[in-house]
Chains A and B, each alone.
Chain A
Amino acid sequence: TQLLEQSPQFLSIQEGENLTVYCNSSSVFSSLQWYRQEPGEGPVLLVTVVTGGEVKKLKRLTFQFGDARKDSSLHITAAQTGDTGLYLCAGAGQAGTALIFGKGTTLSVSS
């Protein structure tokens, strides 16, 4: 069974701080997606990484896919209160198979 472990489970920081959250597995994924979910809403896709070692930047967010395609990280620079939410990673196996989701990291950014 493929599993995705996310860490930390909870993170509470001040506005302006930097942070990194991690998504790890013993399995290889063909791609990995990051979602953010706000209270009372569904997850919203932020980015998809496909190539081992790939780095993608989305404004203050930097996503990296591990060389072996087993892990990924999300780094946020100068966090803002609007970054508050649940960050989920999801891995895709072979083409056509269902996504595997981690439990998520709950981020709280206070002013």
Chain B
Amino acid sequence: ETGVTQTPRHLVMGMTNKKSLKCEQHLGHNAMYWYKQSAKKPLELMFVYSLEERVENNSVPSRFSPECPNSSHLFLHLHTLQPEDSALYLCASSQDNGATPRFQYFGPGTRLTVL
């Protein structure tokens, strides 16, 4: 148990659907992240929230929309996805004090398949 939970664990959706991924961290951290993990590629950082404010957005298409209502919860809203968006979506959290490297703790991921 890493203290970071993600739901659902598996999701199959059509290209016209709208769905949301949820992440919750129980570690008291102040920063949360969304990553995309595709086969044969490094983990791709999508979004970073620190103190509930988005601090990084790595050129992610607008069909992915993050939301961070508080420091413990993070959502990724999905709409009009493409088959190439099928991947494992990982959430992570860390305690970011700006002076030390960000040691990140990951959730188990949501395996997304877009048909």
Contacts and interface: CB of A to CB of B under 8 A. Distances in A.
Given A96-B96, A99-B102, A103-B41, A42 B56 contact: no
Interface string B4-27: 101000000000000000000000
Given A42-B2, A96-B96, A102 B42 contact: yes
Nearest to B101: A92
Nearest to B99: A95
B4 A92 contact: no
Size category, B interface: 20 to 34
Given A44-B2, A92-B101, A103-B40, A98 B109 contact: no
A45 interface: yes
Interface string B84-99: 0000001110001011
Contacts of A82: none
B43 A88 contact: yes
B108 A43 contact: no
Select the residue from A42, A95, A104 with max chain B CB neighbours within 10 A.
Answer: A42
A31 to B, nearest CB: 4
For chain A, the bracket of interface size reads: 20 to 34
B45 interface: yes
A101 interface: yes
Interface in A1-56: 4, 30-31, 33, 35, 40-45, 48, 50
Contacts of A40: 108-109, 111
Contact of B101 (A4, A31, A88): A31
B48 interface: yes
9 contacts: A40-B108, A44-B2, A45-B105, A90-B43, A92-B101, A95-B101, A96-B96, A100-B42, A104-B42
Given A99-B101, A99-B102, 12 more contacts: A40-B109, A41-B109, A42-B6, A42-B91, A42-B106, A43-B43, A48-B101, A92-B102, A95-B99, A96-B96, A96-B99, A102-B42
Interface of A: 4, 30-31, 33, 35, 40-45, 48, 50, 88, 90, 92, 95-96, 98-104
